[in-house]
């Protein structure tokens, strides 16, 4: 088989002072016509840099220092800028991760798709409009004529990504590079987009270079897989082989870290309820002068849930389902409009601010973003010691406690002197956990605590969380959009949609025998749902 696009020993040098000398080292890949090659790796593996190098859209200071990129008899590594401009979009097209930032917010979608024809083909306006409409139909946007006239913010995330794909496919490129095209999307939308890419690729015979960090997506879509680590391709081969019989130790570790979708055998649960969420309501009202044009969003409507002592309650749902709002209502970062949060009978919502500050130590929160949740100007130890100091501990005692907690979450106690930016994402999440545990809470509210982490780090943090739950007898409310993660850590699960809990129960039951149509759809959308790493 002849390769459409061929990387031969491609090496990309990083500027001096970067954490390594080469972003890519001696990368050789062949992309054949009519196949999907998945490039998979963790953050910093150089997978996105590969795409940028092919398109010659490298960030300033980064340059190709060796090797060749063969495409249609040319070497793109050395081609001049004019040749590259003709190839970009027409020969090799690209779809990005975030369709909102990749589209110009001030121009209509149809106008931006039509631009492809204006730049490369020079067709008359009427033909451009017709071709644009045909493209939008092809990517199955609902109401294509309306979508062409819409501005990007008027479309949903999935529709925007469809528009991006339409734009990429406008000129029938031989190669489509998709850089994490579904990462920013909800799981049901992701399933549709993956299906669309697969379908279009089959019909048009396009060669697709699909960049992802998610092995579920790989299992769903890939014909062949290349695994990257630190800028080097460590393994490549047919999808079935790499996924089920990985050779390289790194691939083995990565595949093993993918959480399976089925839940482990249930743990015995206590009858004693520690936290009771009673018909909690939160409604947002925005805009509107004197009631005109006001928008009312029911973020959480009448949610009632029980958390048994020592158990983990998973709250799953897509973006906008109200799960994060619910988490923030529990710790009163957001004031609910109605209902009650009862912690062993005490209604937290009825407490005055001063009393709530005292009660705060019993319910603590772990946040999603390991970069944003730590004050960059404080040492890690101070961050952890802060809580006890606020609640009256002496600074010396709090600092000693912080060192103990560092050991507890698997960090070096000497690292308390360092600043947050000196830690990796997983380590920062451990600091966040230590900070929450410093107040010896009974309930931990974790809002997507592993979503921003690479899969291998994610597995470590989840293991730590399970271990701490046993040792400290914690009860956990675990918010996540990732059903695989939920399956691994939760005892009970509640599925939220548009502010309501549509189904809840023991995780084993809900995941194997979902009753509600939405739960069924959600489970069916998990990419590579049948894929489970060999134990």
Partner 1 sequence: MRFLVAYLRSPPAMIGLVLLLVVIGMALSADWFYPRDPLSLAGRPLIWPGANPRFLLGTDNSGRDIAAQIFHGARVSLLIGVVATSIAIALGIVIGALAGYHGGWVDDVLMRVTEAFQTLPNFLLLLVFVAVFGSDIVTVTIAIGAVSWPAPARLTRAEFLTLRNREFVQACRTIGMGDGRIIFREILPNALPPVIVYASVIMAVAILLESALAFLRLSDPNVASWGNLIGLGRDVLRVQWYVSAIPGVAILVTVLAVSLVGQGLNDALNPRLRKR
Among 391, 418, 509, 516, binds partner 1 (CB under 8 A): 391
367 binds partner 1 (CB under 8 A): yes
360 binds partner 1 (CB under 8 A): yes
Residue whose CB is less far from partner 1, 363 or 493: 363
Residue whose CB is less far from partner 1, 123 or 359: 359
Ramachandran angles phi, psi of 405, nearest 5°: -65, -35
Which pair of tokens denotes residue 141?
Answer: 């946007």
Among 45, 368, 416, 525, binds partner 1 (CB under 8 A): 368
**Binding-site residue total for partner 1 (CB under 8 A)?**
32
Among 125, 245, 294, 333, binds partner 1 (CB under 8 A): 333
- In whole angstroms, the minimum distance from the beta carbon of 317 to partner 1 comes to 20
Pairing outcome for strands 273-286 and 232-238: unpaired
How would DSSP label each residue in 42-92?
A: -TTSSHHHHHHHHHT-PPTT-EEEEEEEEETTEETTT--HHHHHHHBTTTE
Among 9, 205, 288, 372, binds partner 1 (CB under 8 A): 372
Q: Packing angle between helix 395-408 and helix 425-437, nearest 10 degrees?
A: 130
- In whole angstroms, the minimum distance from the beta carbon of 477 to partner 1 comes to 13
Rounded Cα distance between 299 and 282, Å, is 6
Contact 279, 326 (CB under 8 A): no
- In whole angstroms, the minimum distance from the beta carbon of 353 to partner 1 comes to 9
Neighbours of 122 (CB within 10 A): 8
- In whole angstroms, the minimum distance from the beta carbon of 243 to partner 1 comes to 35
- In whole angstroms, the minimum distance from the beta carbon of 435 to partner 1 comes to 7
Among 143, 149, 357, 463, binds partner 1 (CB under 8 A): 357
- In whole angstroms, the minimum distance from the beta carbon of 330 to partner 1 comes to 10
Question: CA 438, 439, 441: angle at the middle one, nearest 5?
Answer: 115
Contact 280, 300 (CB under 8 A): yes
Interface region with partner 1, contact rule CB under 8 A, candidates 28-36, 133-141, 202-210, 355-363: 355-363
374 binds partner 1 (CB under 8 A): yes
Stretch 424-443: interaction string toward partner 1, x if CB under 8 A: --------x--xx-xx----
* Separation of CA 282 from chain center: 26
How would DSSP label each residue in 398-423?
A: HHHHHHHHHHHTT--GGGGGS-GGGS
- In whole angstroms, the minimum distance from the beta carbon of 293 to partner 1 comes to 21
Among 203, 377, 421, 471, binds partner 1 (CB under 8 A): 377
Interface region with partner 1, contact rule CB under 8 A, candidates 178-186, 314-322, 384-392, 399-407: 384-392
Restricting to residues 60-79, name those near partner 1 by CB under 8 A. 60-61
- In whole angstroms, the minimum distance from the beta carbon of 170 to partner 1 comes to 33
Ramachandran angles phi, psi of 23, nearest 5°: -75, -40
Rounded Cα distance between 85 and 262, Å, is 48
CB under 8 Å to 235, separation ≥6 — which residues? 225, 226, 227, 242, 246, 247, 248, 250, 251
* Separation of CA 204 from chain center: 29
Contact 284, 486 (CB under 8 A): no
SS3 content of the chain, % helix, strand, coil (to 5): 40, 25, 35
390 binds partner 1 (CB under 8 A): yes
- In whole angstroms, the minimum distance from the beta carbon of 430 to partner 1 comes to 14
- In whole angstroms, the minimum distance from the beta carbon of 313 to partner 1 comes to 18
364 binds partner 1 (CB under 8 A): yes
Among 242, 258, 331, 495, binds partner 1 (CB under 8 A): 331
Residue whose CB is less far from partner 1, 428 or 529: 428
Which pair of tokens denotes residue 143?
Answer: 């109401």
What is the binding site for partner 1 (CB under 8 A)? 60-61, 328, 331, 333, 356-358, 360-361, 363-365, 367-369, 372-378, 386-387, 390-391, 432, 435-436, 438-439
């Amino acid at each position: 088989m002849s390769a459409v696009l061929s990387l031969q020993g491609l090496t990309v040098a990083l500027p001096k002072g970067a954490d390594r000398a080469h972003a890519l080292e001696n990368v050789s890949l062949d992309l054949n016509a009519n196949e999907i090659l998945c490039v998979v790796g963790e953050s910093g593996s150089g997978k996105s840099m590969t795409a940028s190098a092919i398109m010659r859209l490298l960030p300033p200071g980064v340059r190709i220092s060796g090797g060749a990129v063969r495409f249609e008899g040319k070497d793109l590594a050395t081609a001049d800028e004019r040749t590259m401009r003709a190839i970009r979009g027409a020969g090799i097209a690209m779809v990005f991760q975030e369709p909102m930032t990749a589209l110009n917010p001030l121009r209509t979608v149809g106008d931006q798709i039509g631009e492809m024809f204006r730049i490369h083909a020079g067709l008359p306006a009427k033909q451009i409009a017709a071709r644009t409409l045909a493209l939008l139909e092809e990517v199955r946007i609902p109401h294509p004529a309306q979508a062409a006239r819409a501005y990007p913010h008027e479309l949903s995330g999935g529709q925007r990504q469809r528009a991006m794909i339409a734009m990429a496919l406008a000129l029938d490129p031989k190669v489509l590079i998709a850089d994490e095209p579904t990462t920013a999307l909800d799981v049901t939308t992701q399933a549709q987009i993956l299906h669309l890419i697969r379908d279009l690729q089959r019909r048009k015979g396009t060669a697709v270079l699909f960049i992802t960090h998610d092995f579920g997506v790989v299992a769903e879509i890939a014909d062949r897989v290349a695994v990257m680590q630190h800028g080097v391709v460590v393994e490549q081969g047919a999808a079935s082989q790499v996924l089920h019989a990985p050779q390289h130790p790194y691939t083995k570790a990565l595949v093993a870290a993918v959480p399976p979708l089925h839940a482990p055998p249930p743990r015995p649960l206590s009858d004693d309820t520690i936290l009771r969420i009673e018909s909690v309501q939160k409604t947002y009202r925005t805009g509107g002068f004197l009631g005109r044009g006001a928008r009312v969003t029911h973020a959480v409507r009448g949610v009632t849930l029980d958390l048994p002592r020592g158990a983990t309650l998973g709250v799953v749902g897509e973006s906008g389902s109200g799960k994060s709002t619910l988490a923030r209502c529990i710790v009163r970062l957001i004031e609910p409009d109605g209902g009650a949060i009862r912690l062993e009978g005490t209604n937290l919502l009825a407490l005055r601010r001063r009393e709530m500050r005292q009660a705060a130590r019993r319910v603590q929160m772990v946040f999603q973003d390991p970069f944003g949740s730590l004050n960059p100007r404080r040492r890690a130890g101070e961050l952890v010691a802060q809580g006890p100091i606020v609640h009256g501990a002496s600074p010396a005692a709090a600092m000693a406690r912080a060192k103990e907690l560092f050991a507890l979450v698997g960090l070096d106690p000497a690292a308390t002197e360092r600043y947050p930016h000196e830690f990796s994402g997983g380590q920062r999440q451990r600091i966040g956990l230590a900070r929450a545990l410093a107040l010896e809470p009974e309930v931990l509210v974790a809002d997507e605590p592993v979503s921003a982490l690479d899969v291998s780090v994610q597995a470590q943090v989840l293991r730590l969380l399970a271990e701490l739950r046993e040792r400290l007898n914690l009860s956990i409310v675990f918010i996540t959009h990732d059903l695989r993660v939920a399956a691994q850590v939760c005892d009970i699960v509640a599925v939220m949609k548009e502010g309501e809990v549509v189904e809840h129960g023991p995780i084993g039951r809900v995941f194997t025998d979902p009753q509600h149509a939405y739960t069924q759809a959600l489970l069916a959308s998990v990419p590579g749902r049948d894929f489970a790493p060999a134990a």
